[in-house]
Amino acid sequence: MSADFDEGLATPPVAPRRPKTITAHGDTRVDDWYWVHDREDPAVMELLEAENAYTRDATAHLEQLIDDLYETMLAMVQLTDASYPAPRGDWAYYERTIEGAEHSISCRRPAAAPLPLADRSVPDPHEVVILDENEMAEGFSYFAIGSTALSADQRLLAYTVDTSGSERMTLRVRDLEGGQDLADVIDNVYYGLAFAGNETLFYCRPDDAMRPYQIWRHQIGVGTGADELVWEEPDERYFLGVGRSKDGRYVMMCTGNHVTSEWRLIPADQPDAEPVVVEPRRQGIAYSVAHHRGELLVLSNDGAENFALWRTPVETPGRENWQLLLPHRSEVRVESVDVIDGYALVEERGHATTAIRLVRLDGDGGGDGDGDGGGGGATADGAAQLPGTIIEAPAAGVISLADNLDFAAREVRFETTTLVTPLTLHSYDIETGAVTTLHRQPAPGYDPERYHSEQRWATSADGTRVPVTLAWSKDRAPGPGPCLLYGYGSYEISIDPTFRVDRPIHPLLDRGLVYAIAHVRGGGELGRRWYLDGKLENKPHSFEDFVAVARWLVDEGWTSPTQLAAIGGSAGGLLMGASANLAPDLFAGIVAEVPFVDCLTTMLDITLPLTVTEQEEWGDPIASEEAYWLIKSYSPYDNVKNVRYPRFLVTGGVNDPRVGYFEPTKWVQRLRAAHPDNPTRVLLRMELSAGHGGPSGRYQGWRKRAFVLAFVLETVGALD
């Protein structure tokens, strides 16, 4: 089932280059493919083009299947559609798509106008187009909107545009009343924008390593030469970001990384004022803030590993003035806090599931429910006497806050979904408690009743129980069959079981595959401890967990090693590479998308984007010999074995600022060279005009997804 590709095809010829010797901590490594780092070398582009040509030829026999999968995806998408309008003051905002168009159209309509017809193909007479990305994308092979920000009166829209995938963007400002861009144009900006009132705009700039390290202040209508530097972060471990409080009272700036943060505030009506520090940074202490009626709600892990929620006066925001609102619990991670007038909207995660808590914010510090909602300085470790109302996720699914843009709203919008249930938008009336379904993601011809999803548990090498979410067709024959296993496991990012029309799984389920997500350590599915147990010195737990889940799928009779494929991207690509080295005979095939596989060499090079900041996640192999040897022990590129590997489909992007194109390119060469059987088992597909996220157009994205699924189906023997 996991046959080689056409052995009659010659793998791309690679021009000889001088190997690079890399020495650290008394250890010397020889990198035969380091020359690929030099994108100015014509031989590099020749190699990438040859790899793409080889991949096209090697998969030419799958073209009909790719076309069929692509058409199946299109058939399930409401190609001409619109999202449900999200109100913000006098306006309600939404996105619209048109059949045949690659990009979205951003729109708004008067919030008080009657809602549009359910038939999204009928034009909305109240619609005002804000940004038509299809028109803006003309002439570019890649186009994406980065950040947007509205002025207080909602007349001006600041937005950033990326036309290469490099994430170095251009900032423009549009007059929404006239529909034209102003003369304000600022190049070389990053994500993050905020208006203070209607005339002052804050934005971020990246340094040479793509770290957002400066926040600037710009006056609308004034040349950029007059822009003022507000904050420069010299510590290369930290990223800067900027936004605005929901009530518009403050510009909110943050510096932080994965474990430490610091926030500063500027009153929106005094945009030239010096920023006020909420709480000075302390190593290992992370916090975020939201403003509500002269108070700050502070979500922090200070003395609370799974985070707790405090309130503090905005005039005296320091730690000594924090009053406990929602205590720490050992089994529940408080993930985020939002506000509307009178309420805190809290997202929680515990026991591998999610919930939303609505906490009333009275002027005297009290909450609703059975608890008193405030006061007290000590943390608690139980659910008793907690303030607020809980709304829980569906079984084997997820619940999350939707766009609650209006500070004065009297309803809270949230979304629910599972792997097999389309995204559904609900409204919770905070006065009556009534829940109304507002909108369900359209999926023409899709019947969720044909599929089943549930959560199970596997056991890792050290005895830790690892959650697994499964989905399959109810028509699937019992016993071992084809399976695709997904994993990520880094940065405390939880891989929630959600239904996605841009990455559908039903074409696999309809062909008898089981789809599984391994919620390995390093993610956030079981709280902060789950993350800490899968980073730095504990990083090998992520790989052990993934292999354990794969073996569990085999042992429980879901699949067999000749029918099991795995997929992961970015840090999840590292997971793929390390897992393949641990258990090369366990998988028939592996898809590694923009994979972080040369992690030791990358972490030794501080000139590369993200390297210094990433030391908090992986360790610092420059300063720490222990970290060096640990990373070397699992680095996929440094641990390629002389074995017959599973089939590999590896992807990358030439303009990727997060995982350099050279990482997947070098890895493919070393995999092929490791064993006589490997050259015809490894494919590289490189996007030559895109970055980390791949192609920017939605049809291009579906076509690429169809290609990946075709590779998976052939690999696991599910072509019939």
Comparing C-alpha atoms, which of 572, 576, 446, 444 is closest to residue 507?
A: 446
When the pLDDT of each residue in the chain is averaged and rounded to a whole number, the result is 94
Query: For 220-285, where are the E strands, in sequence order?
Result: 228-232, 239-244, 250-256, 261-267, 276-277
Strand 91-97 versus strand 261-267 pairing type = unpaired
Q: What pTM, to 2 d.p., does this model score?
A: 0.95
d(CA 631, CA 228): 41
- In whole angstroms, how large is the CA radius of gyration of the chain? 26
Q: What is the pLDDT of residues 121-148, one digit of tens each?
A: 677 899 999 999 999 999 999 999 999 9
Given a contact cutoff of 8 angstroms between Cβ atoms, the answer to whether 682 and 648 are in contact is yes
Determine the average pLDDT of the residues in 80-97. 96
In the sheet that holds 323-326, the strands lie side by side as 287-292, 295-300, 308-313, 323-326
> What residue has token string 């048109």?
98
Structural domains of the chain sorted by starting position, each given as residue range(s) with its CATH number in brackets: 49-74+447-715 (3.40.50.1820), 80-139 (no CATH)
Look at residue 321 in the predicted model and tell me its pLDDT. 98
Look at residue 25 in the predicted model and tell me its pLDDT. 98
Q: In the predicted model, is pLDDT for residue 47 greater than 90?
A: yes
Q: In the predicted model, is pLDDT for residue 263 greater than 80?
A: yes
Cβ count within 10 A of residue 477: 8
Look at residue 8 in the predicted model and tell me its pLDDT. 73
Amino acid, res. 286: A
Look at residue 609 in the predicted model and tell me its pLDDT. 82
Q: What is the pLDDT of residues 270-315, one digit of tens each?
A: 999 999 999 999 999 999 999 999 999 999 999 999 999 999 999 9
Determine the average pLDDT of the residues in 619-627. 98
- For 336, list phi and psi in degrees, rounded to 5: -155, 160
| Residue 3 banded pLDDT, cuts 50, 70, 90 | low
SS3 of 478, please?
coil
d(CA 218, CA 148): 15
Determine the average pLDDT of the residues in 634-648. 98
| Residue 1 banded pLDDT, cuts 50, 70, 90 | very low
Given a contact cutoff of 8 angstroms between Cβ atoms, the answer to whether 442 and 82 are in contact is no
| Residue 581 banded pLDDT, cuts 50, 70, 90 | very high
Look at residue 18 in the predicted model and tell me its pLDDT. 82
Amino acid, res. 695: P
Cβ count within 10 A of residue 480: 18
Burial class (CB in 10 A: 0-12, 13-18, 19+), 44: buried
pLDDT > 70 in the chain, percent: 95
Given a contact cutoff of 8 angstroms between Cβ atoms, the answer to whether 716 and 561 are in contact is no
d(CA 233, CA 244): 19
Could you tell me how many residues make up the chain? Answer: 720
Look at residue 180 in the predicted model and tell me its pLDDT. 96
Q: In the predicted model, is pLDDT for residue 159 greater than 80?
A: yes
Cβ count within 10 A of residue 32: 16
d(CA 39, CA 140): 21
DSSP letter assigned to residue 224? G
Q: What is the pLDDT of residues 17-45, one digit of tens each?
A: 889 999 999 999 999 999 999 999 999 99
Q: What is the pLDDT of residues 185-239, one digit of tens each?
A: 999 999 999 999 999 999 999 999 999 999 999 999 999 999 999 999 999 999 9
d(CA 108, CA 104): 13
Determine the average pLDDT of the residues in 372-396. 62
Could you tell me the two tokens for 472? 């399959």
Active site residues: 570, 656, 692
Q: In the predicted model, is pLDDT for residue 529 greater than 50?
A: yes
